[in-house]
Amino acid sequence: MNLLEKLDAVAAARIAMLPEGIGAFGVPIEEVYSATEARIGDRRVLLLGTNNYLGLSFAPECIEAAHHALDAEGTGTTGSRMANGSYQGHRALEQEFADFYGCSAGIVFTTGYQANLGTISGLVGHGDTVLIDSDSHASIYDGCILSGAEIIRFKHNDTVDMEKRLRRLGDRTESTLIIIEGIYSMLGDQAPLAEIVNLKNKYSCTLLLDEAHSLGVLGETGQGLVEITGLQKEVDFITGTFSKSLCSIGGFCVSNHSQLDQLRYVSHPYIFTASPSPATIASARAALVLLREGKDLRKKLWQNCTQLYAYLNEAGYKLGPEPSPIIAAVLDNPKQALRIWQSLLENNIYVNLILPPAAPDGKSLIRCSVNAAHTTEQITYVGDIFSKLQDQIIEK
């Protein structure tokens, strides 16, 4: 089988999984009207698949900041951070993230994916160990692979299984990086941070927490899981993305370890990627201010989350263990999931269709992403439609 034939085999497998719905992925959104509505084909749809948790994608402050940066600095840096791509705004945002988390320093990356890729591959290498949650995001897996370190997975959010694996490492725990997430992107559940910190200290490991989906969502000021647990000082490195609550594109890492700055000289994803455009950085800086001051936005977000979770739970859907901005209905097979997904779209609701192997435990997901801009009426409508579609879970 040659290289192109291998891709043909992948395509055949996808068609076999969803023979009637292969076009469900990469649905083009022709127009976006607001943080909650868009046009797909000839349908005006409700957006529940965007990770736009605080609904800031049309915030006037962010748009104005981006326009000003375009006028003042142009469309792009045309260079890496190490060459000619570190503008004043990049350095300012790094300091703003460090101040936000009460850390001594921060680094901005071009994407959230690269924040994990660059941080992990810069921290560990051959001879080291990474201990990761089995439900970790692809950027974490790929960062571990790029590093060359030994990868050990523990059962999702299972600290008993995690400690069992730490004990087996013996003295190697001192060169072990534990990686977890604040909110996991498939089912919306939170890591047991307090228990993990105890194990990290007991076995003298280093801990990296990815707050991609918890930034802006958890905590009085939106720092994430570290804020609601009060354990910010116990986490060695915090990474995150601009593409969720900050409605931009980019990523960051903050730390109180002085060695963080050395990542700029060893991290290939940082060294060899063009830096974020001035408009991207400017809008992220404006959004970070709104996020930090967004107590009312978080209150509305959680009202929406709780409301929709209750609707789906009452309708009999199998859900993640707790309400969050990510509410996923767990289905047994791809055909069930596709049936629900298509019916939702026919009722002008756009959600995410998640199939194996991305979905955990071989299941399939209908994944809703709730935001603060959704109205009570919109959430009620979505809940009503889900209730009417529940009988489609049964295989016909």
Place of tokens 């016909």: 396
pLDDT attached to residue 22: 59
* Residue-range domains of the chain with CATH: 19-54+295-393 (3.90.1150.10), 60-292 (3.40.640.10)
Taking the whole predicted model, whether its pTM rises above 0.85 is answered as yes
Band (104; pLDDT cuts 50, 70, 90): very high
Spatial separation of the C-alpha atoms in residues 239 and 224, rounded to whole Å: 11
**360: preceding bond cis by omega (within 30 degrees):** no
Helices and strands counted in the chain (H then E): 14, 14
Band (18; pLDDT cuts 50, 70, 90): confident
Residue 78 scores a pLDDT above 60: yes
pLDDT attached to residue 396: 45
Residue 239 scores a pLDDT above 60: yes
Spatial separation of the C-alpha atoms in residues 247 and 269, rounded to whole Å: 22
pLDDT attached to residue 21: 64
Tens of pLDDT, residue by residue over 347-386, are 999 999 999 888 888 899 999 999 999 999 999 999 999 9
pLDDT attached to residue 58: 98
pLDDT attached to residue 10: 85
